Amino acid sequence: MGRIDMGSLADLKALLHQHGLAPCRAKGQNFLFPESIQRRIVQQIGAVPPMILEIGPGLGGLTQALRAEYPDSSLILMEKDVRFAEILAQRIPNSTLILGDALALDWMPYEGATLIGNLPYNVSVPLVLRYVRHADLFPQAIFMFQREVGQRIMALPKSKAYGRLSVMIQAYTKVSKVMDLPSSVFWPKPAVDSMLLQFHRLDPMNTLAFSDLEPVVAAAFQHRRKMMTYGLASLGIPLEEAPFQLRVRAEEVSVPEFIRLAQWVKTVR
């Protein structure tokens, strides 16, 4: 990770002080401060995107790096904390700020945007699931997670971390790890380490609706230690007619097999 740039931390504290603000723990405000890391993160986007939607810009640290790296992209910011409105308007004049809960706000007007967000840990899972539901509309996303959650998202079959989250996300996106981040690059320092993940929509897209796959995966993982037939029985389907042997644990079933299974369930339900 290299040396941590404490100069950026001093700037961040000074900015808050100047506006008479303090980080709000309830809103999960842990600001990422080293400029070198902010730059590395935004460079991960690659080819210049026409539009970027940043979720939870906070004081605009990542946002400034985005603006510097992609001066011609339109930049939409969704931030829940109204206290940051003035700072964001001053620091990132050439952007559109939408105040509110990004989990509830409409994303559809920003179809085609690259999504990026360093969100509090309790928001990052619902956020990524919302993104995956609409992955056909958004070519890529970059989100921060608690390290254990990142490991669950990336997990492969036959591992302890493999579960609903891994299947639902990998069924619609290609996931890759950008970097691990120690808690020391955030201020205030959180109790856990982080992992930054990048998601690209699958090409070709999986055409099975999220809502058709979700109940099947949830039922299959209901009793992790038992064969998945126990959980799948709750769906009221003729299990003996399934396209492959279901007397296995859910954690042994690959993502393509789950998709096949859900496609079949759709035809017999």
Output the smallest distance, CB 8 to ligand SAM, in A: 10
Contact between 30 and ligand SAM per CB under 6 A: yes
Choices 26-34, 191-199, 207-215, 261-269; region in contact with ligand SAM by CB under 6 A: 26-34
Is the Cβ of residue 94 or residue 267 nearer to ligand SAM in the bound state? 94
Smallest separation (angstroms) from ligand SAM to the CB of 150 = 15
**Which residue in the set 11, 19, 27, 44 belongs to the binding site for ligand SAM (CB under 6 A)?**
27
DSSP codes of every residue in the chain: -----HHHHHHHHHHHHHTT----GGGT--EE--HHHHHHHHHTT-SPPSEEEEE--TTTHHHHHHHHH-TTSEEEEEES-GGGHHHHHHH--SSEEEES-TTTS--GGGTTPEEEE---HHHHHHHHHHHHHTTTT-SEEEEEEEHHHHHHHH--TTSTT-SHHHHHHHTTEEEEEEEEE-GGGEESPPSS-EEEEEEEE-SSPP-S-HHHHHHHHHHHTTTTTSBTHHHHGGG---GGGSSS---SBGGGS-HHHHHHHHHHHHHH-
CB of 91 to ligand SAM, least distance (A): 12
| Residue 10 Cα to chain centre, angstroms | 29
- Helix axis angle for 35-43 and 61-69, nearest 10°, is 50
Q: Is 166 in the site for ligand SAM (CB under 6 A)?
A: no
Among 8, 29, 73, 124, binds ligand SAM (CB under 6 A): 29
The residues in 65-104 that bind ligand SAM, with binding defined as CB under 6 A, are 78-81, 101-103
Which member of 120, 150, 163, 231 binds ligand SAM (CB under 6 A)? Answer: 120
Q: Report the nearest approach of ligand SAM to the CB of residue 50 (Å).
A: 21
- Tell me: does residue 115 bind ligand SAM (CB under 6 A): no
CB atoms under 10 Å from CB of 102, counted, come to 22
149 in contact with ligand SAM (CB under 6 A): no
Under the binding rule (CB under 6 A), the answer on residue 116 touching ligand SAM is no
Q: Which is nearer to ligand SAM, 55 or 76 (CB)?
A: 55
Q: Tell me which residues touch ligand SAM (CB under 6 A).
A: 27-32, 55-58, 61-62, 78-81, 101-103, 118-120, 123
